[in-house]
Structure 1
Amino acid sequence: MNRTLVAAAGLALALAAPAAAPAQLAPPYTFVMMLGKDTIVSEVVQRSATRLDVDMVDRATGAHWRYAMDLRPDGTVPSMSNAYYRLAQGDTVPVQRAELAFTGDSVVVTISGNVSRVERLATRPGAIPYINPSSAMIEQILHRARAMGGAEDTVPIFALVGGATVPTVVTWVGRDSAVLAIGAARMRLSVGEDGSLLGMAVPMQRVRVVRVEGAHPLATHPIDYGAPPGAPYTAQDVTVHTPEGLSFTGTLTLPSHRAGRAPAIVTITGSGTQDRDERIVGLDGYRPFWQIADTLARRGIATLRLDDRGMNGSSAGPPTATSADFANDIRAGLAYLRTRPEIDGSRLGLVGHSEGGMIAPMVAATDPGLKGIVLMAGPAYTGARILAFQQRYAVDRMPALSPAERRAALAKSAKATDSLAAKSAWLRYFIAYDPLATARTVRVPVLILQGETDQQVTPEQADTLAAAFRAGGDRDVTVREFRQTDHLFVADSSGDPARYSALPSHAVRPEVLCVPRGVFYLSARRTSGSL
């Protein structure tokens, strides 16, 4: 469930294209973000005293951004414009545009595209807009902190999707370096005499950023969500529309040689904005929902996997959306499958991971015709309890801290969570939501999968959740635990989220996918008329 707050704050909103750059912009330079030896993000940057222009390509999330910010001498940003393009679709025109105008403690956002609206959102004076993983915006935070003049400066950032304002702390280490903290994430920054960002390291994620002179953009190749050569199934690009007026891009895999209509499942991603494969920035090769779709299609089962709100071509939707709204998105996916002639609408199921494992029971509680749900690391505890554990876990793994410093770090983390929750409807809902109450209302077959070393949704929650399903009268509940397996269902002896990027493989373990212990279990163990 947990991401570092860098990823949580990277709630990137599709915003509007700038006008032509003024002539006084300096020659371009490029921030190159690398994971190990692999380049994952490039940002071509041009600056002047009053303007910042950036062209950013993010291979990890399939996003291409072009944005511009007007700048004040004190480093604050009175206005910003941006355009969002999808790498997967090879867009030549932006899918969405928007403009932001910051005034005091509010920001007016004007969005145009597949959803158009104007909103006024609360923020803090001097907030710097932020899109993860923009190094140019980190550089602007540095300029603002340098103008503030302290040895340690707190600069608010405005997360462009979700509308949350998050405090960042810049601690200067001499004139040529600094440490920037966003929640639990720490970035080590190399700083020029003029306050420019020369380089950056994020040790928790094995990420580093280098600055090179000139323009060095990444190629914007579309992401391939298709079937591999020779596969016994097809992969169709589809669009799902909701009663609320949103649309979702996705892929429907269909077995090629199945006699009759195929059963099908819908996948549900975890927290944060993710694509249909549930890829995670910094984890090369992690595509769990592609693995699931491939496994099931080879056994005659179709899969619909959808991009989250705001990802690729999916509508961003309102910033007040919660997990309950995401459940409606999945209901729309099920309704879509029931319109497809190749699909047996009476044999549908769900596979949800992490937050998706919380959403699947919500949907099943209102759709008793489902043939089964699979919960991969679905939580049993409230979000408040989960976040408290995750914060303690992170602080306990900081051996350099004294007991007093650990207590202070925990207090600061809790305060940051409260501050974020005050601005984030999603987080408020997550903190208060009780999965056990919903579990007691579900009557469809349930398979709970749990990693033994999971340090995000801890292993004992699987049995607690199963007991709640059974207490409500569900007589078909199965729990499967996998040894040496973490929250991502990857082979991992420690389960420490800070070490995910260093794991030798990011593939979901085969035993999770295959009979009789994994997501194929529901389809394998039942007879005709079920999945």
Structure 2
Amino acid sequence: MFRTMLAALAIVTLAMAGHAQSQESLAGSWNGVLDVGAAQLRLELRIEENEDGYSAVMVSVDQGGSAIPVSDFAIEYPEIDLQMAAAGARYTARLTDGRLVGTFAQGGAEFPLEMARGAVEAAGPELAPGESEVFVDAGVRLAGTLRLPEGDGPHPAVLMLNGSGSQDRDVTIGNHRIFAVLAETLAEAGIASLRLDDRGMGGSDSTPATGPRELGRDAGEALAFLRTADGVDARCTGVLGHSEGGIIAFLLPDASQPDFIVALAPQAGTLEETLLEQGEAMNRVMGASEDVIEATRARQLAMLEALASAPPGEAGAAVEAAFLAHGIPADAARQQAAFWGQQYVQEAAALDPAAALAGYDGPVLGIFAQNDLQVLAEVNAQRMREARAGLPATIGIVPGVNHLFQASETGSPADYARAPHAMSPDALTLIAEGAGEIIAHTCGDAR
């Protein structure tokens, strides 16, 4: 579900104080490397100057991630101060000899960050043997990687759909390329795959989606493209979705239905159920008191009620008022409302996953992660069983892994970037074997 990740994408407006023509303009691109020990992240700060001051975008070149709300920002030349309260992050720097020299702070830790003028040199996506760069016209242009197994084919294939938040085609988290590793494992099992940059990421167009069903239409166009690709068996193409992608897999238009669906840790509950469950689970892992757990739940319920009752276009104000009523500081409430008040979130909150699960009559493989704190395994597996009653479905739980199917005792999202592997080797084997079995059962003669 919604992840707050170090050095993801942040869009801010900077107030300008005391700016004179004689001062060196801060406009343009800046780049630097944030060394956090476990990973080195290339950051690019893009600043534009306009009549009201500055506007800027900070991008983590090596990570896909959700937008980080910014609670406060200022420029008092030659110093800048960017604060991102939702991530507990802050970048302060001083313009010195043509470079921004400063400190990036998050979670009580501080890291030096020096940025020079110029954009990060675009290297393009990493392509392994058997991979090629492709582009899908879905009304918006979506860039992706087609991975073919060895051999002439035609091969069964899957369209890979990632979870919520803006992510690149590889689902890059820290030094891990989650979907690239999964695609390699599938190729070794004789299964082709197509993975895509989300809208606004990598080579894809930046037009934002209005809701999950629009992403379902994107997926339908991508699946149609996959069926025409050289080396792919058009009679045996399915969708493999993770987290929110595991529900979007069930939202493709009727004219673009997959032959089968593999859903990894799919969000089988409503957004309300999922947020409440993951909020409590994460608080308990962090050792929060019952009072904190209950206060968190009350805030979440107030936000969700405001979201559900607000007319179109007014959700942001309603959500902000709900947070203010629960004691959230004004700046933080405003920034939280900018995210939770989006049309996309409002449509996601209205989605009925059970109806989507029941509305597809083809074969389904559902695989959950035992220690998942974002999509709780047992309760969501049971929801899928109930929704798929009387329909073909195989549902299982992989022991000892987190939401990304990495080996993890706690399941904490804090372990995602520092796990020793992108995905657990055991989990990869189980996923590939399960996909092979549903393909053999579904496509038998077609293969």
- Identify the residue that residue 40 of structure 2 maps to in structure 1: 39
The answer to whether the 8 A contact 2:10-2:59 is kept is no
How far, CA to CA, are the matches of 1:402 and 1:267 in structure 2? 39
For the aligned residues, what is the CA RMSD?
4.0
From 67, 72, 81, the equivalent of 1:141 is: 72
Deviation at 1:7, TM superposition (A): 7.6
- Identify the residue that residue 80 of structure 1 maps to in structure 2: 55
Aligned residues: 396
Residues 530 and 288 of structure 1, relative CA distance in 2, 3 Å threshold: farther
From 381, 385, 394, the equivalent of 1:467 is: 385
SS at match of 2:88: strand
- Asked whether 1:486 is paired with 2:376, we answer no
- Identify the residue that residue 428 of structure 1 maps to in structure 2: 346
- Asked whether 1:307 is paired with 2:197, we answer yes
- Identify the residue that residue 331 of structure 1 maps to in structure 2: 220
- Asked whether 1:2 is paired with 2:2, we answer yes
- Asked whether 1:357 is paired with 2:250, we answer no
SS at match of 2:131: strand
- Give a deviation string over 1:328-373, Cα, whole Å, max 9, x none: 111001111233343222211010000100101122x725863210
The answer for unaligned runs of 5 or more in structure 1 is 14-20, 43-55, 57-64, 72-76, 89-130, 147-177, 229-233
- Identify the residue that residue 85 of structure 2 maps to in structure 1: 182
SS at match of 1:331: helix
Q: Which has the higher helix share?
A: 2
One-letter amino acid matched to 1:80: S
The answer to whether the 8 A contact 1:11-1:273 is kept is no
How far, CA to CA, are the matches of 1:434 and 1:40 in structure 2? 38
Deviation at 1:441, TM superposition (A): 1.5
- Give a deviation string over 1:264-284, Cα, whole Å, max 9, x none: 11000110111111223xx32
- Identify the residue that residue 157 of structure 1 maps to in structure 2: none
Matches within 5 A, 1:185-334: 185-187=87-89, 198-203=102-107, 208-212=110-114, 215=116, 220-228=121-129, 234-242=130-138, 245-259=139-153, 261-280=154-173, 283-285=174-176, 287-317=177-207, 319=208, 321-334=210-223
One-letter amino acid matched to 2:72: I
How far, CA to CA, are the matches of 2:277 and 2:82 in structure 1? 25
How far, CA to CA, are the matches of 1:331 and 1:518 in structure 2? 23
One-letter amino acid matched to 2:232: I
- Give a deviation string over 1:90-137, Cα, whole Å, max 9, x none: xxxxxxxxxxxxxxxxxxxxxxxxxxxxxxxxxxxxxxxxx957xxx9
How far, CA to CA, are the matches of 1:516 and 1:304 in structure 2? 15
The answer to whether the 8 A contact 1:265-1:302 is kept is yes
How far, CA to CA, are the matches of 2:119 and 2:278 in structure 1? 35
Matches within 5 A, 1:145-156: none
The answer for unaligned runs of 5 or more in structure 2 is 13-19, 95-99, 305-318, 321-336
From 244, 259, 266, the equivalent of 1:371 is: 259
Residues 333 and 30 of structure 1, relative CA distance in 2, 3 Å threshold: closer
- Could you tell me the TM-score, scaled by structure 1's length? 0.64
Residues 143 and 403 of structure 1, relative CA distance in 2, 3 Å threshold: farther
Residues 78 and 406 of structure 1, relative CA distance in 2, 3 Å threshold: farther
How far, CA to CA, are the matches of 1:525 and 1:344 in structure 2? 15
Identity fraction in percent: 27
- Could you tell me the TM-score, scaled by structure 2's length? 0.75
SS at match of 1:379: coil
Matches within 5 A, 1:80-159: 80=55, 141-143=72-74
- Identify the residue that residue 97 of structure 2 maps to in structure 1: none
SS at match of 1:456: coil
The answer to whether the 8 A contact 1:515-1:521 is kept is no
- Identify the residue that residue 123 of structure 1 maps to in structure 2: none
The answer to whether the 8 A contact 1:395-1:410 is kept is no
One-letter amino acid matched to 1:66: R
The answer to whether the 8 A contact 1:462-1:479 is kept is no
The answer to whether the 8 A contact 1:513-1:520 is kept is no
How far, CA to CA, are the matches of 1:360 and 1:38 in structure 2? 32
The answer to whether the 8 A contact 1:452-1:482 is kept is yes
How far, CA to CA, are the matches of 1:87 and 1:309 in structure 2? 16
- Identify the residue that residue 24 of structure 1 maps to in structure 2: 23
The answer to whether the 8 A contact 2:161-2:195 is kept is yes
How far, CA to CA, are the matches of 1:291 and 1:358 in structure 2? 22
Residues 80 and 505 of structure 1, relative CA distance in 2, 3 Å threshold: same
How far, CA to CA, are the matches of 1:70 and 1:407 in structure 2? 45
Deviation at 1:203, TM superposition (A): 3.0
How far, CA to CA, are the matches of 1:37 and 1:218 in structure 2? 24
- Asked whether 1:68 is paired with 2:48, we answer yes
How far, CA to CA, are the matches of 1:253 and 1:241 in structure 2? 19
- Asked whether 1:384 is paired with 2:384, we answer no
One-letter amino acid matched to 1:366: D
One-letter amino acid matched to 1:388: L
Residues 490 and 79 of structure 1, relative CA distance in 2, 3 Å threshold: same
The answer to whether the 8 A contact 2:182-2:428 is kept is no
The answer to whether the 8 A contact 1:266-1:334 is kept is yes
One-letter amino acid matched to 1:199: T
One-letter amino acid matched to 2:163: G
- Identify the residue that residue 411 of structure 2 maps to in structure 1: 495
SS at match of 1:523: helix
The answer to whether the 8 A contact 2:42-2:62 is kept is no
Residues 348 and 424 of structure 1, relative CA distance in 2, 3 Å threshold: same
- Give a deviation string over 1:306-338, Cα, whole Å, max 9, x none: 111111121122x45211000111100111123
How far, CA to CA, are the matches of 2:6 and 2:234 in structure 1? 40
The answer to whether the 8 A contact 1:292-1:519 is kept is no
How far, CA to CA, are the matches of 1:268 and 1:513 in structure 2? 19
How far, CA to CA, are the matches of 1:515 and 1:498 in structure 2? 24
